[in-house]
Amino acid sequence: MPDWSAYRGVLVYIEHREGIAKKVGWQLLGQGKRLADKLEVEVMALVIGHNVGQLAEEAITYGADRVFLVDAPELKDYRTYPYSRASMKVIHEVKPEIVLFGATATGRDLAGAIATHLPTGLTADTTELDVEPHPSRLLQASRPAFSEKMMATILCKQYRPQMATARAGVFEALPKDPSRKGEIVQIDFQIQESEIAAKVLDFIQDQSKINLEEAEIIVAGGRGLGGPEPFKMLQELADALGGVVGASRAAVDAGWIKHEHQVGQTGYTVRPKLYFAIGISGAVQHTVGMQNSDLIIAINRDPDAPIFKVAHYGIVGDLFQIVPAITEEVRSR
Ligand code: FAD
């Protein structure tokens, strides 16, 4: 095994849009800290953007011991080339042994670009991250494989840093602690706009898209709804609570609702404050995607449905009577 002793520490990329962090960055800082504690090293954050100093401070409150801040006008909007250049500069200077990114569209793009240039390996879309402590210090990055039928654990033995993207919602963020102390290191980075082929002309928000991963309240429905029409009833409850609608794969496969609503092994992994599972039996491929929700309320007419094993509260009965009653009660408050 080569001597990798120059590489130490866990570095986490903090993704944001206009200075607002995506939750996955804080979740990975939490997991990064758990890995760093095992390896007896520090956990560090990488913040790239323009006028994003407050994000660097926020990263400390979520557990970063040191934050590397790359701030330049050319980095205002995410673009692969300048962001990967900035990331590689930090990686070359800091030499972390592990680098983690959210498995978001941006995280996948950035991590892939960096991995090809360094060069090192990249384990994409992981759902479990652990480390073998001294002497190997290997990252054990696991992800579903073979059409999600088994878990594969992937090791990067020949290169450093070891890199992975990880799904949002899988890991728990540390509680925000404004009293936590850490260091912010400004990285000197220069790039000419003329060097960057891609230009951002405008951002057009797709209002129709839902964001399950960032949602605090999810009202999810399954095959028990019997068709697409009753999802309107779920939308009404979600609207009354300020949440979004989720779904089981059975409902998605039946064509009742779009895949972007699917929760579970082949959908999104979510960690909302409140999760309603309505007419969902609780197959393991579904529960793996929602069992870390803070509060789970299941509504099912079958008292033996497995969903009640992961639910904090269970209501046994007909969803067509119960859901409108809850919506009415919420609206009256
Ligand atoms: P069902 O299992 O049919 O359950 C319907 C429930 O509704 C029942 O419990 C029933 O009692 C209840 N019900 C019916 N009528 C009423 C009523 N009027 N009032 C109250 N309750 C009622 N599934 C996912 O969800 N997400 C995934 O990402 C996913 N990935 C998968 C990946 C693989 C490789 C495989 C093999 C499967 C995957 N699945 C996934 C499918 C999963 O195994 C289940 O088939 C699916 O979750 C079942 O969906 P459901 O609970 O909506 O339907």
Walk along the chain (333 residues) and give the pLDDT tens digit of each residue. Answer: 678 889 999 999 999 998 999 999 999 999 999 999 999 999 999 999 999 999 999 999 999 999 999 999 999 999 999 999 999 999 999 999 999 999 999 999 999 999 999 989 999 999 999 999 888 999 999 998 887 788 999 999 989 999 999 999 999 999 999 999 999 999 999 999 999 999 999 988 877 778 898 899 999 999 999 999 999 999 999 999 999 999 999 999 999 999 999 999 999 999 999 999 999 999 999 999 999 999 999 999 999 999 999 999 999 999 999 999 999 999 998
| Interatomic CA distance for residues 45 and 62, integer angstroms | 10
Q: Is any ligand 1 atom within 6 A of the Cβ of residue 172?
A: no
Q: What is the pLDDT of residue 2?
A: 74
Report which DSSP code applies to 266. T
Q: Is any ligand 1 atom within 6 A of the Cβ of residue 264?
A: yes
Q: E-assigned strands of 82-145?
A: 98-102, 122-126, 128-131, 139-145
* 282 assigned ligand-binding residue: yes
What residue owns the CA closest to ligand 1's atom 11?
A: 302
Radius of gyration of the chain from its Cα atoms, rounded to whole angstroms: 21
Q: Is any ligand 1 atom within 6 A of the Cβ of residue 249?
A: yes
Query: Which DSSP string do the residues of 273-292 spell out, in sequence order?
Result: SEEEEES----HHHHTTTTT
Q: What is the pLDDT of residue 38?
A: 97
Query: pTM, whole model, 2 decimals?
Result: 0.86
Q: What is the pLDDT of residue 207?
A: 75
Question: What are the backbone angles phi and psi of residue 190, rounded to the nearest 5°?
Answer: -130, 140
Q: What is the pLDDT of residue 81?
A: 97
What's the distance, CA 155 to chain centroid?
21
* 112 assigned ligand-binding residue: no
Integer CA distances (angstroms), 104 to 38, 79, 93, in order: 26, 14, 26
What residue owns the CA closest to ligand 1's atom 31?
A: 285
Q: Is any ligand 1 atom within 6 A of the Cβ of residue 254?
A: no
Q: What is the pLDDT of residue 203?
A: 86
* 264 assigned ligand-binding residue: yes
Q: What is the pLDDT of residue 205?
A: 80
